[in-house]
Chains A and B, each alone.
Chain A
Amino acid sequence: MLNYLIKRILMMALTLFLIITLTFFLMHAIPGGPFTSEKMLAPEIEAALNAKYGLDKPIWQQYLSYLQGIITFDLGPSFKYPGVRVNDLIREGLPVTAQTGFLAMLCVVALGIPLGIVAALHQNKWQDTTIMAIATMGVAIPSYVLATIALYLFALQWQLVPTFGLDSWQGYILPVLALSGFWLSFIARLSRSSLLEVLGQDYMVTARAKGLHPQTILFKHGMRNALIPIVTVLGPVVANLLTGSFVIEQIFALPGIGRHFVLSISNRDYTTIMGITIFYAAFLMLMILIVDLLYMVLDPRIKLGEKAQ
C-alpha cells in the first residue's frame, strides 16, 4: 500500500513535469509576447522590459530558470501586473473561487445524489419525470445562459439578491447556483441510473428475501454499490469547481482565479498561464488519487497496487 502511494506520487511528479514542459513550449509558440501591444512601445523600452524579465535569453535557458523556480515553489512574477508574483495572484484569488466552488460542490452532493435516489425509487412516476425533466434542462443549458437569466430575474426584476459581489450571504446564491447547475443535474441523472442498475441486481432480491428493513436495503446494499460510478465522476468535478469558472466569475464580477486563467492567455502573461496550469493539474491529479483510494473503501474487490489474480 505504501509502495503504491509512493509510486503514484512519483508518477504524479513525472506527469506534472511533462505538463510544465509541454505548456511552456506551446505557450512560447504563440505569436506575440507579454509586452507586444497596439500602443507600439518604443523598441528600446520593449527590449529593456524583455531583458528585465529574462525574455531576451534563449528559450531553453528561460525554461531551465523557470524549472529552478518551480522546485522552490516560486511561480515567478506576473508580467501583466507589475510587482505582483503569481503565487500572490493564486493566494488572493483561490479563497474566493474555493469558497463558491465548495458551496457548489456541497449542492452537487447534497442535492444531486438524493434527487437521483428519489427519481430511481419512483421510476416512471411523476417524481421521476419531474426531476429528470429539470435535470435534463440543467445539463443542456450552458452555465452562462443560466447565470444571465437568473441574474436578470432575481437580481434585476425582483431584487432578491445583489447583482455582484460576495459581501452578503445572498451574494453567494446565484454564483453557486450557476456554478453547480450542470454538475448537480449530471450527478442526479447518474445517481438515478446507477441506483436503478443496482436495484435490479440479484443481491437486492436476496436482501429483501432476508427480511431486512427497506432503509438497510437501500443504503447498505444499494447505495454503497451505486456510489462507485458516482465517486469516479465526483473527483474531477471537485477539481473543476474548486478551480473556478472564468465565465461565472466574469458575470458576477468575482475576484477569483478562474478569470486570471483565461485573461493571462490573451495577455501572454507567461508566468500566470504556467502557474495556474500547474496548480490546476496538480489539484486534479490529487483528486484522482483520492478517488482511487476511495474505491478501495467502497469496493473490496478493488485492490490497489496488487496484480490482478
Chain B
Amino acid sequence: MSSAPLLKVDNLTTHFHTSRGDVQAVRGVSFDVKPGEILGIVGESGSGKSITCLSILGLLKANGEVVDGSADFEGKQLTGLSDKQLRTIRGDDIAMIFQDPMTSLNPTLTVGEQLIETIVAHKPVSRGEARKRALELFELVKIPSAASRLDNYPHEFSGGMRQRVMIAMALTCDPKLLIADEPTTALDVTIQRQILLLLKDLQEKLGMAIILITHDLGVIAEVADRILVMYGGMVMETGDVYDVFESPQHPYTTGLLHSIPDVRSHTKQRLTPIPGSPPDMLRPPEGCPFAPRCPHAIQQCLEAMPPLFERPNAKPTVHEARCWLHHEEAPKALQSIFDAPEVSNG
C-alpha cells in the first residue's frame, strides 16, 4: 500500500449557485485512490458523494462550481482544466458508469454505435477496428451472442444487460480509474450481485482502480478495499473496510450499520433507523453536520467542526473519524461507545 496514489483529491469544495443562495454540496473532501484498489464511498442521498465524483471530471451542471481544492490524477491537475483538455481524459483514463442504465444510454442509437463513437473519439482507429474492439468488450462483460447484440437498441436489453453495456462502454479505452455511481441501485437483487462480481472480476483482470459510490453498505462489504463514509458534504469516517465494519469510529457509521437488516438473526429484530433528516446544505450547521441527529452529541459537537481523529494502531491503512468524542478531553463514558463493537456485520 505504499505506491503513489492514482488520484489525490484535496479539500475539494463544490457549490451550486441557486436563486436561494449557494448550496454547499461538497465541503472540503480529501481522499486518495491507489492504483488497482476499490474505494467505496457510502452515504445517503444528498451527502455529496456523486457530486464529488462529477466535480473531479468537470461534469457538473451549469450552476455547479468547484470553488476550492484540487483533484490530482497521475500528477495532472484536473480542476481548472479546460473542457477540451478534460475531454481527452474522460472516457479514456477515467471512465464513469451511472445509476440507471435505462436512462443513461441514448435510446435512439444502437449500443454498438455508442461504444464505437467512444473508441473513435479517443483512439486513431477506423470504425471497422472500433467495431471489433466493441465486440471484444461485449464478450468481456459476458453479453450473450455479442456479435448480433451490437446492432440492438438499448430498449431491446434487460436492465442487467444494459448495465453490462454501460460497463463495456466505460472499458473501451482501458481506463486506469472507473467511477461507478450507484451501479446496482436500479437493478434486481440477484442482478445486483452479478454486476458487482463482474466489476470485481474485471478489476482483477484489468488492474484498474474503482471508486464505487453507493448508499448500500452491503455492496461495499462485498467488493471494496477501503471505505469513505460521507455526510453533509464531508468525510465522516475513512478506513479499511474490515476495520470500519468491525469497529466504527463515528456514531453516523454505527447508525448506518444498525439500519441494515441481518438475515442471520433469528430473533424478530426491528431495524433501527437514524432519526431526523440530513442538514440543509444551503445553511449547513457550524458544528458536526450529524450532531443534530446524533444520540451522543455533546455541546462541543454543535459549536465547532470536529477534525479527523486518527485511530491509534489501525491496520492495514489509516482509520480516521470526524468526531469530537475522540478528543482527549471528551467524556470518558461516551468514548467507550467505540470500544466494544455493538454490531458485527463484516
Contact = CB atoms under 8 A, between A and B. Distances in A.
Interface of A: 123, 201-203, 205-214, 216, 220-221, 224-225, 298-301
A301 B107 contact: yes
Given A210-B169, A211-B89, A203 B106 contact: yes
A203 B102 CA distance: 9
A33 to B, nearest CB: 55
Interface string B102-121: 01111111100000011001
B106 A207 contact: yes
A300 B108 contact: yes
A232 to B, nearest CB: 15
Contacts, number: 79
Of all A-B residue pairs in the complex, the 10 with the closest CB atoms, nearest first, are: A211-B91, A211-B90, A210-B91, A202-B103, A209-B96, A203-B106, A211-B87, A202-B104, A210-B118, A300-B153
B98 interface: yes
Contact of A209 (B62, B88, B95): B95
Contact of B106 (A123, A211, A225, A298): A225
Contacts of A203: 103-107
Size class of B's contact patch? Answer: 20 to 34
Contacts of B104: 202-203, 205-206
Given A205-B59, A205-B98, A212-B91, A299 B103 contact: no
Interface string B46-65: 00000000000101001000
A166 B111 CA distance: 52
A35 B245 CA distance: 97
B303 interface: no
Contacts of A225: 106-108
A209 B57 contact: yes
Contacts of A300: 107-108, 110, 153, 155
Interface centre among B57, B86, B106 (most CB of A within 10 A): B106
A300 B113 CA distance: 13
29 contacts: A202-B103, A203-B103, A203-B106, A206-B96, A206-B106, A206-B166, A206-B169, A207-B106, A208-B90, A209-B59, A209-B90, A209-B91, A209-B98, A210-B117, A210-B121, A210-B169, A211-B86, A211-B88, A211-B118, A212-B87, A224-B108, A224-B109, A225-B107, A225-B108, A300-B107, A300-B110, A300-B153, A300-B155, A301-B108
